[in-house]
C-alpha cells in the first residue's frame, strides 16, 4: 500500500465478500457474528504466513517421514469488546495460541481510549503477539494497546483490523513503526464523531446487539 509499507490489505475475494456483508446495515447480529468469525479465519492465514516452522520426524501408518510444526508461540490479544468477535476464527486455525485481553473503550467526547482491564500471558518477548480489533479509527485504542504490550515485553507485534482509516494507520505507525498492520479494507476517512467512512458502524454494538 503506497505510503504505508507496514500495512497489508487482505483483498482475497472471499474476504471482500465478507466485508460487504459486514458493512451492510441489514445484516443482523447473529449473521454479523458468524461472518466476522469466518473472516477472522481467512485473515489468520495471511497474518501467520511468515511464522517460523521446524521440521519433525513422524510415522504415517506406512512409513517414516518428516512433517512441520510451528516454531513460535502465538498470543492473541483482543481489544474488548469488539475484538472478541475475531478470537474464535483465529483460534480455529491456531488452537495452541494463548489469549490475553485488553479492555479499552473510547470516550465519546474526547475520542481518547479509557482502559479498564488488562490480562496477558507471561513471556511475551518470544511470541508473535497478534492484537485483534475490527476497527482502527483514530488509532488511539490500538496505539495504547501496543504501548501496554511493549511494556509487558512484547517485541513481535501485529495489529489486525477488519476496516481501517488512514488516520488510524498513520497514528499507529508514527507511535510504533515496528508493528505490522493487517486490514481487509483501507477506508476513506473518519466523520466528526470519529467513525470510519464508509465503515460498518459501531462494531461492538453490531456484534453484541447493543445500542
Q: Which of 98, 102, 136, 137 is nearest to 118 (CA)?
A: 102
Give 78's contacts (C-beta < 8 A, 6+ positions apart): 84, 86, 87, 99, 101, 102, 131, 132, 133
**Interface with ligand URA includes 132 (CB under 6 A)?**
no
Site for ligand URA in 58-97 (CB under 6 A): 82
Neighbours of 20 (CB within 10 A): 13
**Contact stretch for ligand URA (CB under 6 A) within 18-26, 57-65, 69-77, 195-203:** 195-203
The C-alpha atoms of residue 117 and residue 150 are separated, in whole angstroms, by 16
Task: CB nearer to ligand PRP: give 97 or 104.
Answer: 104
By a kind-dependent CB cut-off of 5 to 8 A, residue 166 interacts, out of ligand URA, ligand PRP, none, with none
Of the candidates 43, 120, 131, 203, which one interacts with ligand URA according to CB under 6 A? 203
Active-site hit among 23, 170, 180, 205: 205
**Interface with ligand PRP includes 113 (CB under 6 A)?**
yes
Cα separation values, 22 from 78, 92, 180, 201, 202, Å: 19, 20, 24, 10, 11
Q: Is 110 a catalytic residue?
A: yes
Q: Give the three cell numbers for residue 113.
A: 481510549
Interface characters, 155-194, with ligand URA (x: CB under 6 A): ---------------------------------------x
Cell 488510524 -> residue? 168
**Interface with ligand PRP includes 137 (CB under 6 A)?**
yes
Active-site hit among 6, 106, 170, 180: 106
**Contact stretch for ligand PRP (CB under 6 A) within 27-35, 50-58, 118-126, 134-142:** 134-142
Q: Residue 117's beta-bridge partner residues?
A: 103
By a kind-dependent CB cut-off of 5 to 8 A, residue 79 interacts, out of ligand PRP, ligand URA, none, with ligand PRP
In the 8-state DSSP scheme, what is residue 124? G
The SS3 call for residue 152 is coil
Instruction: Please give the positions annotated as active site.
Output: 106, 110, 202, 205
Amino acid at each position: 500500500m503506497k505510503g504505508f509499507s507496514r500495512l497489508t490489505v487482505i483483498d482475497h475475494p472471499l474476504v471482500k465478500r465478507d466485508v460487504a456483508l459486514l458493512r451492510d446495515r441489514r445484516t443482523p447480529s447473529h449473521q454479523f457474528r458468524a461472518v466476522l468469525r469466518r473472516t477472522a479465519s481467512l485473515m489468520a492465514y495471511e497474518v501467520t504466513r511468515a511464522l517460523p516452522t521446524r521440521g519433525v520426524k513422524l510415522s504415517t501408518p506406512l512409513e517414516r517421514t518428516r512433517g512441520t510444526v510451528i516454531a513460535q508461540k502465538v498470543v492473541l490479544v483482543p481489544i474488548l469488546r469488539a475484538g472478541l468477535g475475531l478470537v474464535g476464527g483465529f483460534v480455529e486455525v491456531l488452537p495452541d495460541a494463548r489469549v490475553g485481553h485488553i479492555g479499552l473503550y473510547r470516550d465519546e467526547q474526547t475520542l481518547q481510549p479509557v482502559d479498564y482491564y488488562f490480562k496477558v500471558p507471561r513471556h511475551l518477548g518470544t511470541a508473535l503477539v497478534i492484537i485483534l480489533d475490527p476497527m482502527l479509527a483514530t488509532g488511539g485504542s490500538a496505539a495504547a494497546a501496543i504501548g501496554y504490550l511493549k511494556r509487558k515485553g512484547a517485541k513481535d507485534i501485529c495489529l489486525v483490523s477488519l476496516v481501517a482509516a488512514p488516520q488510524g494507520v498513520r497514528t499507529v505507525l508514527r507511535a510504533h513503526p515496528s508493528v505490522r498492520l493487517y486490514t481487509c479494507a483501507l477506508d476513506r476517512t473518519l466523520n466528526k464523531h470519529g467513525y470510519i467512512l464508509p465503515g460498518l458502524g459501531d462494531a461492538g454494538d453490531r456484534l453484541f446487539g447493543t445500542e
